[in-house]
């Protein structure tokens, strides 16, 4: 992915972490002010997962985020203004104000929209990867789900299909310890979600979801394996959902000591400690980056507010595909990138 703050990779990654956190915190505030339409599901504390799995992907790869992966959109390059307009249900949003933000997609940046049935996009991700294989394309799909959704049948079916056909899929399980209020101990009887990959004939990896270095490493290994015909990988990123399931959930079912212990493993603080070891003036950089993130968030909020809501007749638009009947692109055209691939 192109750098979007600094030519220094370590600093750019720090900005990515702070942008994801700052944008989500801004959305939480706007939700309390009744400016966001639909639910808000904060990924605070899970930033290293979304940054680590999306940052180094090729532009032609496809991602399938879910409700707690707002950061994936930002890292893939979705304009924060358009994303905020989508969250506010405005016409300038990605679906022109017609749907909840979690259901929208961003085809310009190869972001596939999710459904409310968490885990339901795993078969779609496998299907897209199947298309890549049929067409001889070296693209990869990266799809996300939680440890709760790992209990769903369609997640198993997708991974079984991907394993049988050695598809270029990276399945990312964000194990944040709770499926709403159900703890992981009541979701998984075995050692881990990743261990299940053995049954599908491909690699499963348990990784520290709060360690950005580790997330970048295991993701790049998985993507390289998939791109070169080595088949899928199931990454289980062990992390923690710092906030409740959604903005209305106080998460009173959790022990305070547990929350406090996980907060010491905060991914942003861990990256700041790394930067400090590199003799970076972390305090000065933090102030600089936070100022820029606030500016981005305010610009996005003002842009969204300035956009009108959709009108009733707008519901009749975009019902049918505009290019029905268009000749299929040639193999050469399909291999030129996401615009030509038509995935």
List residues bridging with 309 in a β-sheet: 90
Number of domains in the chain: 1
pLDDT digits (tens, 9 = 90+) for 221-278: 999 999 999 999 999 999 999 999 999 899 999 999 999 999 999 999 999 999 999 9
- Give yes or no for residue 339 having a pLDDT over 60: no
Amino acid 334: pLDDT = 58
- Is 262 within the bounds of a domain? yes
Output the furthest CA–CA distance in the chain (Å, rounded).
61
List residues bridging with 172 in a β-sheet: 144, 235
Domain extent for 223: 9-78+116-279
- Give yes or no for residue 335 having a pLDDT over 70: no
- Is 150 within the bounds of a domain? yes
- Is 342 within the bounds of a domain? no
Of 40 and 329, the one with more pLDDT = 40
- Is 49 within the bounds of a domain? yes
Confidence band, pLDDT 50/70/90 cuts, at residue 116? confident
- Is 169 within the bounds of a domain? yes
pLDDT digits (tens, 9 = 90+) for 22-54: 999 999 999 999 999 989 999 999 999 999 999
Phi-psi map region of 111: left, alpha, beta (phi>0 left; psi -120 to 50 alpha): beta
CATH number, domain containing residue 56:
3.40.50.970
- Is 309 within the bounds of a domain? no
Long-range contacts of 275-279 (CB under 8 A, 24+ apart): 275/10, 275/11, 275/14, 278/10
- Is 99 within the bounds of a domain? no
- Is 265 within the bounds of a domain? yes
Confidence band, pLDDT 50/70/90 cuts, at residue 159? very high
Model pTM above 0.85: yes
């Amino acid at each position: 992915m192109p750098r979007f703050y600094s030519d220094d990779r370590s600093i750019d990654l720090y900005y990515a972490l702070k942008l994801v956190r700052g944008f989500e915190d801004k959305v939480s505030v706007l939700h309390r002010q009744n400016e966001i339409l639909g639910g808000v599901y904060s990924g605070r504390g899970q930033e290293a997962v979304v940054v680590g799995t999306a940052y180094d992907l090729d532009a032609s790869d496809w991602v399938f985020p879910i409700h707690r992966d707002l950061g994936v959109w930002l890292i893939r390059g979705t304009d924060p203004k358009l994303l905020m307009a989508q969250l506010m249900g405005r016409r300038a949003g990605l679906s022109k104000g017609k749907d909840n933000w979690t259901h929208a997609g961003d085809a310009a940046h190869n972001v596939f929209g999710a459904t409310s049935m968490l885990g339901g996009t795993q078969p779609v991700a496998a299907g897209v990867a199947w298309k890549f294989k049929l067409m001889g394309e070296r693209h990869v799909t990266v799809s996300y789900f939680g440890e709760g959704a790992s209990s769903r049948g369609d997640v198993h079916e997708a991974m079984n299909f991907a394993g049988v056909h050695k598809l270029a899929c990276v399945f990312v399980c964000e194990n944040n310890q709770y499926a709403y209020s159900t703890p992981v101990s009541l979701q998984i009887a075995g050692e881990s979600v990743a261990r299940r990959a053995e049954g599908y004939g491909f690699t499963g990896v348990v990784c520290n979801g709060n360690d950005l270095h580790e997330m970048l490493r295991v993701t790049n290994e998985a993507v390289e394996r998939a791109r070169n015909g080595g088949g899928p990988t199931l990454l289980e990123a062990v992390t923690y959902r710092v906030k409740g399931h959604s903005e209305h959930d106080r998460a009173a079912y959790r022990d305070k000591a547990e929350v406090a212990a996980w907060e010491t493993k905060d991914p942003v603080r861990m990256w700041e400690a790394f930067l400090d070891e590199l003799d970076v003036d972390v305090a000065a950089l933090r102030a600089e980056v936070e100022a820029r993130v606030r500016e981005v968030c305010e610009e996005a909020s003002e842009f969204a507010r300035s956009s009108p809501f959709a009108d009733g007749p707008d519901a009749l638009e975009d019902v049918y595909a505009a290019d029905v009947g268009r000749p299929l692109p040639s193999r050469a055209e399909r291999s030129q990138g996401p615009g030509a691939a038509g995935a």
